Structure 1
Amino acid sequence: MLMLVVTAAVLGSAGRPAAAERCGLVASGQPDPFGLMAQLSGNFVPPVPVAPVKRSSASTQSPSPINNPWNVFNRQPTTLDSFNAFQQIMTLLGKRRKRQSGLYEQLTRVRRETEAVKARVRRIVGGYDAIPGQLCWQVKIQIGDVRDETICGGTILGSRTVLIAAHCLYNSETRRRISDRNVIVVVGGMNRDVGEVYGHDTTGCAEPFGIQQSIVHPNYNYDLNDNDIGILILNRPIDLDHKPCACSACLTARTPQVAEWCVVSGYGEESSDGSNDRDPVPLKWTQLQIRHQDYSGSCAFNSFPARGGFGGQRTNLDLFLCAGAQKWEDTCQGDSGGPLICLDPVKKTYYQAGIVSFGDDCGAGTGGQYTRVAAYIPWILANTAGDVTVDL
């Protein structure tokens, strides 16, 4: 059974440790909810990647345009689509990668950016459907309105604090900040529809929250993705003492080691183009291995040619963790901002090591990049007014 080390004898009204002292403890009652504890005994069995089975139109309900705002990109793009997308990309100075050069690589970039024009976000491919309480720190963040909505993930760190990727809070076409009034945080939802007017909460525990303030790291770089971290301050507290579908992940200075296995989660696409999605898409999780960080191409990164306005700059990989690279197990469009969660081997609790930031095609075999949370602890504490504590 999961054991939690309580660092302060602060008890709630029910005689149990207060919410801040129970971080990283799942509410599903599972002794090893993600299979990560087997790493401690050397018995961990890596997931076996399985190629996704294409769903036939006869057996799959087509999502409505409202339910799937990326629906336009699920059809075969025309030459005009690619041309228009390329114009937008060049205007926006969107993501570039060192390996993308020449005509074939340029067309590949156009296709990738066409899929990303509506939102620079990522989602889960492969993995497992979550059960209630298993991912109690995960939230869904609805950005925009019913006519033009995108989705990101986020992580509960305190009763009024949610950690998110900075890029989720920007309009990808205008590069302007999204208004706080157009951001809704949904706690406890078990599928992507929960929180929408047409959604159905099967647990009776899900709850939407508005935000009082959004905070983006002052050194966030939209083009390189450096410092891709933000904070949402909710307009009222989550009842972490009595809400079984909500909990906080631990915040700690620990960083996972290369070859260690961690967990990512989200509500997103189940394939790169969304054609394999169920309706509604469930909250899912998968195990990813931490990889050696470098510019060899085994991990994604953004770069610009020396002749461009950015003078040969590229993503500062010291600010990220690289994870994944096994085929068909990955984050993908829509998981952006969600948590990379690892197991503390001493306390046997779960802490947030990373934030889903960016990567190449979903499940293609290249490691994705996750903002290294431990590097930002002083900034997080300075902007959360005592709502978040560090699990020492």
Structure 2
Amino acid sequence: MNVPNEVIESSEHGVVSGPRKTTCKCGWANRNPARIIFGVETNENEYPWMVLLNTYHTMSNGMRIMFYCGGSIITKKHVLTAAHCVVNKYTNKVALPGDVTVILAEHDSSKDSGKEKSYEVETVFVHENYLLQQSHDIALLHLKNDIEFNDIIGPVCLYPDELPVVNRHIKIMGWGRTEGGQGSNVLLKSYSTVIDNQLCEGASSFEICTFIKPGSTCSGDSGGPLVWLDPETNRYAQVSLVSRGHPDCQSSPTISTQISSFYNWIVERIKLTDPSAETCQKI
């Protein structure tokens, strides 16, 4: 598959409002004019919904190891991520809420900018089928305290319907391993092309297959959002979240969990924990 080496992105993408509105403020971007090339550093706090997730897992020998993942803000009290980010693959046990930390407004994980905000988790919801079959790779985190939204912290838009993204570019961001095999201290962004699931071995009907070259997503990007710029709102809506890719981070398709397939599951758990919390969608 031929994928462009670079994508030109308007400085107005996600900045100015589109002709249609959303039920609440969501999916905006903070940026300067830029030419976007695969795997480049984002502007600081460019994507207000982006979350860095730190989870401690206890190994069979008793050692505690921290794993990091991505995630996305979807309400004032809830964050989406992948189930495998909060389930110990050695014991198949869900992480205790106290072992999970949500960090917002993070850009460079190697230093403190003073803008970062950390939140504790009250409840960890993992899809029931993940624990049984290692499928349905999605988890919802209910936070102890409300997120304080501002210009650099806020939710991504979340739509109940499947989005028209096959054969289109969508955006991915994360702190995952780069082609050199090392994790990135700074948040990176890239474009990925959605391909038909029939061209992607192992993808199910509730997943999305994307292709990026060079630089496939790797473990550090797990749970992070793939987003689409809705031309009607000029706001970013989350299409899916990263589930799995090539274990050696080669240029091969990446499989992600489609949000629309689990929208009802997400909303049910939001209402269960905080009836006043709402996702933002197009009016």
* TM-score scaled by length of structure 1: 0.61
Which SS does the other structure have where 2:218 is aligned? coil
The question of 1:288 aligning with 2:192 is answered: yes
- CA gap of 1:7–1:209, structure 2 versus 1, over 3 A, is closer
Aligned to 1:239: 148
Is this contact kept in 2: 1:165–1:337, CA < 8 A? yes
The change in CA–CA distance for 1:300 and 1:138 in structure 2 (over 3 A counts) is farther
Q: Per-residue displacement from partner, 1:18-66 (whole Å, max 9, x unpaired)?
A: xxx111112x1447x786xxxxxxxxxxx5xxxxxxxxxxxxxxxxxxx
Segment drifting more, 362-371 vs 225-234: 362-371
Question: Shift in Å at residue 380 of structure 1?
Answer: 1.0
Show the counterpart of 1:53: none
Residue 200 of structure 2 is matched in structure 1 by: 299
Partner residue in 1 for 2:6: none
8 Å Cα contact 1:170-1:176 kept in structure 2: yes
Which residue is equivalent to 1:54?
none
**For the residues of structure 1 that align with 2:41 and 2:98, how far apart are their CA atoms?**
31
Aligned-residue CA RMSD (Å):
2.3
List structure 1 runs of 4+ shifted beyond 3 angstroms: 4-8
- Counterpart residue identity of residue 193, structure 2: Q
The 8 Å contact of residues 133 and 244 in structure 1, kept in 2 or not, is answered as no
Partner of 1:360: 246
State the match for 2:205 in structure 1: 318
Write the deviation string for residues 273-294 of structure 1: whole angstroms up to 9, x where unpaired.
43xx55xx21111100001112
Counterparts of 2:163 and 2:269 in 1: how far apart (Å)? 22
* Correspondence for 1:14: none
- 1:249 aligned to which of 134, 149, 156: 156
Rounded to whole Å, the distance in 2 between the matches of 1:34 and 1:381 is: 36
CA shift digits 1:288-341 (9 cap, x unpaired):
0001112xxx5352xxxxxxxxxxxxx6x10100011x4323210111110011
2:42 aligned with 1:130:
yes
Return 5+ residue gaps in structure 1 as ranges: 9-20, 36-46, 48-125, 194-199, 302-314
SS in 2 for 1:210: strand
The reply to whether residue 375 of structure 1 matches residue 261 of structure 2 is yes
Measured after TM superposition, the shift of residue 383 of structure 1 is 0.8
**Amino acid corresponding to residue 155 of structure 2 in structure 1:** S
Counting aligned pairs with the same residue, the percent is 25
- The CA deviation string for residues 56-115 of structure 1, in whole angstroms up to 9 with x for no partner, is xxxxxxxxxxxxxxxxxxxxxxxxxxxxxxxxxxxxxxxxxxxxxxxxxxxxxxxxxxxx
Q: How many positions carry a matched residue from both structures?
A: 257
Larger radius of gyration: 1
Determine if the alignment matches structure 1 residue 24 to structure 2 residue 24: no
Q: Deviations over 1:192-237 (max 9, x none)?
A: 33xxxxxx222x21011100111111222565x4211110011111
Q: 2:234 maps to what in 1?
A: 348
Q: 2:60 — aligned with what?
A: none
Q: Distance between the aligned counterparts of 1:254 and 1:236, measured in 2?
A: 31
SS at match of 1:209: strand
1:29-108 alignment, distance < 5 Å: 29-30=31-32
- Give the match for residue 115 of structure 2: 205
Matched, 1:389 2:279: yes
Structure 2 CA distance for aligned equivalents of residues 6 and 181 of structure 1: 37
What one-letter code is carried by the residue in structure 2 that aligns with 1:263?
K
Is this contact kept in 2: 1:269–1:332, CA < 8 A?
A: yes
Contact 1:256 1:353 in 2 (8 A): no
Contact kept? 1:323, 1:369, Cα under 8 Å: yes
C-alpha offsets along residues 97-138 of structure 1, whole Å, 9 cap, x if unaligned?
xxxxxxxxxxxxxxxxxxxxxxxxxxxxx5110112312111
Aligned residue number for residue 4 of structure 2: none
| Aligned CA distance change for structure 1 residues 173 and 247 (closer, same or farther; 3 Å) | same
- Match for residue 265 of structure 1? 173
Question: What TM-score do the two structures reach when normalised by structure 2?
Answer: 0.83
Cα separation, 2, equivalents of 1:190 and 1:331: 18
- Alpha-carbon distance change, 201 to 210 in structure 1, aligned in 2, over 3 angstroms: same
What is the distance in 2 between the residues matched to 1:300 and 1:267? 26
Of 121, 128, 137, the residue aligned with 1:228 is 137
> Shift of residue 189 of structure 1?
0.8
Q: Which one of the candidate residues 84, 99, 106 is aligned to 1:182?
A: 99
